Structure 1
Amino acid sequence: MRSAEFRRGREEGWRELEDLVTRVEKRGIKSVSADELQKMPLLYRSALSSLSVARSIALDRNLLRYLEALTLRAYLVVYGPRTSLIAGLSHFFRYGFPDAVRKAGWHILIAFAAMALGIAAGFVLVNSEAEWFNAIVPDGLAGGRGPSASAEYLRSVLFAPWDGFKESFIVFANYLFQNNSMVAILSFGVGFMAGVPTLLLLVYNGLIVGAFLAIHYQRGLLVDCIGWLSIHGVTELGAFILCGAAGLVVAEKIIFPGRYSRLEALAIHGKQAAIIACGAVAMLFIAGFIEGGLRQLINVTSWRFAFAAVTAVLWGVYFLYCGKGAQHALSA
């Protein structure tokens, strides 16, 4: 069948659908009448049927591309959400994210315990034998803060002067966000392997923190180090724990799918895990901003502890109470 023959009798409907879709995209759903609004799903299904036939009889590629683009645009208009990006993000952070976190209570406790175990183990190992530090912490991350580092050098890092707006809030904060988000997403993504790699990643990240604490403890700088870590660590480590908890949610539904098949259980509960992981990545963006610039702007240990306490309270209130008991849903 030639393209011209195929188009005859169908093209009028395609053009009408394209006109309606274009009007909605430019001026909103109110730009079409009630009759046109009722007709749009019929025109969309007709165009979708034409695309299916066109693919089976291998017509010219230009026509295929046109129908594919038209049906995709029409799908978003007919079945897409009727909310703006800002409204969607607002709903996510006001209701979706905190609610998903509250539902993952015991997963978060397990993730927290895994990281706490790593911190304790890292501290004990390095404090008993300093050379463990080199085995635990990569050279690039250590930055010279190893067993041979002097107390003066460690102190100079803890209280280093501010590098300026560009270096602190743009360059360094962006670097931190990229690296931290990659590790966090990995701990979520490997949850399908029964959660074992997720727990190992949490323990390993804890080992690194514990190793740094031990090195500073040996130089009499433990309190200053905890203050230096806490100012961003409340948000950053919290995000790592949440991503790990999201991975454990996935692991649970694979190991214990209940009355559903494993794929069905993942389809039902995977959204909760994804919401937690996405929200945790947003937390890492905030943590990168704090670590990249605010940590060195606030160069007094007591102030750092105060800032960390405030962030801990704010996150606690947010997760415990934000959107609690409310039934909110995005309008379809």
Structure 2
Amino acid sequence: MREAAFVRQNKDKWSRFESALQNKAFITPDELSALYLEITDHLSYAQTFYPRSNTVKYLNTLASQAHHNIYKTKRESPNRVISFFTKEFPKEFYNYQKQLLLAFVVFSIFVAIGSFSAASEAGFVRAILGDAYVNATLENISKQDPMAVYKQMGEFDMFLGITINNIRVALYAFVLGIFAGMGTLYMVMQNAIMLGSFQYFFYEKGLFWESVRTIWIHGSIEISVIIVAACAGLVVGKSILFPGTYTRLTSFVKGVKAGLKIVISTVPFFIIAGFLEGYVTRHTEMPDWLAIIIIALSLCLILFYYVYYPIYLNRKLPHDPQ
């Protein structure tokens, strides 16, 4: 890249960083630290390709001035956890909407593939869900209680087991992103095909609505947040494949940090989903209107927190301190 193009591409960030150092603009310590890492990476790049340029001198001055501001005066807010979930994370998550959309599209495609495969091949459902589950469900259907599987465990045991398992799945989706995102996409494919074949199984038995109004009481949050966790893996994968002006290692470290924040954001939602599955889903006798309200509120909560709120924070409050 020519020096002029490099300067033009990054000068706004440098100006913002310089203004912050001179107390002409307010940014949080975390944002200052992130900008500092970016400045030092740009300095390294400039030293390699434009070793005797004014750009190197300018960036070196900025990096030197910043060290004291960041590492000697940085303080953590006593409300750090609340600030993370209400401002810091959703504002940052705006940058990963494309990865979220990709995870959603891939998941939807493989749900359709799972349904189509189950409709086309009689043994597909058993191959995906296992004979034990299919046989147990058929027995429950014969007893006029097709959703009895959600009543077999104690409420707390089910809540705890499901929550831990879902968090484990989210961590796997995140960690598998180190394989350039392909591991994450493979995990998305597995879960989506399972969901598609699962829903077709009940459709074939004439129990589609019964399965939807029961399973999606917890599944609306559970499935949505698994897609969000897949987004974390794709962020890691992108950091490896497309490092931009960073070194690949620096880009990877930034991607891992960003992905980990995304996974952390899913934990409260997995707890909510686990609670619903352990304590609410088992009540298959509840009226349809109540199930619909729970499902609708759950979907609205997910869409608000991961889609609308990040857009709101960045478009309406672009300079609001976190």
TM-score normalised per structure 2: 0.68
Which residue in the other structure is 1:251 paired with?
237
In structure 2, C-alpha distance between the alignment counterparts of 1:113 and 1:262, rounded to whole Å: 27
1:307 to 2:294 alignment: yes
Question: Structure 1: which 5+ runs fail to align?
Answer: 1-77
Which residue in the other structure is 1:327 paired with?
320
Which residue in the other structure is 2:145 paired with?
156
User: For each residue in 1:212-257, what CA deviation from the matched residue of structure 2 results, as whole angstroms up to 9, or x when unmatched?
Assistant: 1111111111112112222111210111001100100110110011
In structure 1, C-alpha distance between the alignment counterparts of 2:149 and 2:239, rounded to whole Å: 46
Q: Secondary structure at the match of 2:106?
A: helix
In structure 2, C-alpha distance between the alignment counterparts of 1:83 and 1:143, rounded to whole Å: 54
8 A Cα contact 2:104 2:227, kept in partner: yes
8 A Cα contact 1:194 1:255, kept in partner: yes
In structure 2, C-alpha distance between the alignment counterparts of 1:243 and 1:178, rounded to whole Å: 14
The structure 1 residue matched to 2:126, chosen from 120, 134, 157, is: 134
User: Taking structure 1 as reference, are residues 160 and 246 closer, same or farther at Cα in structure 2, changes over 3 Å only?
Assistant: closer
Shift of 1:81: 4.7
Shift of 1:208: 1.0
Shift of 1:141: 5.8
User: For each residue in 1:55-85, what CA deviation from the matched residue of structure 2 results, as whole angstroms up to 9, or x when unmatched?
Assistant: xxxxxxxxxxxxxxxxxxxxxxx9885444x
Which residue in the other structure is 1:30 paired with?
none
8 A Cα contact 1:100 1:273, kept in partner: no
8 A Cα contact 1:228 1:301, kept in partner: no
Count, aligned residues: 244
Shift of 1:138: 4.0
The structure 1 residue matched to 2:92, chosen from 76, 86, 100, is: 100
- The residue type equivalent to 1:95 in the other structure is K
Q: Secondary structure at the match of 1:297?
A: coil
User: Taking structure 1 as reference, are residues 141 and 289 closer, same or farther at Cα in structure 2, changes over 3 Å only?
Assistant: farther
Which residue in the other structure is 1:15 paired with?
none
- The residue type equivalent to 2:238 in the other structure is E
Shift of 1:161: 8.5
The structure with the largest alpha-carbon Rg is 1
Identity %: 25
8 A Cα contact 2:159 2:275, kept in partner: yes
Greater Cα shift, 256-265 or 120-129: 120-129
- The residue type equivalent to 1:177 in the other structure is T
In structure 2, C-alpha distance between the alignment counterparts of 1:140 and 1:280, rounded to whole Å: 31
TM-score normalised per structure 1: 0.67
Which residue in the other structure is 2:69 paired with?
none
Question: Structure 2: which 5+ runs fail to align?
Answer: 1-71
User: Taking structure 1 as reference, are residues 151 and 302 closer, same or farther at Cα in structure 2, changes over 3 Å only?
Assistant: farther
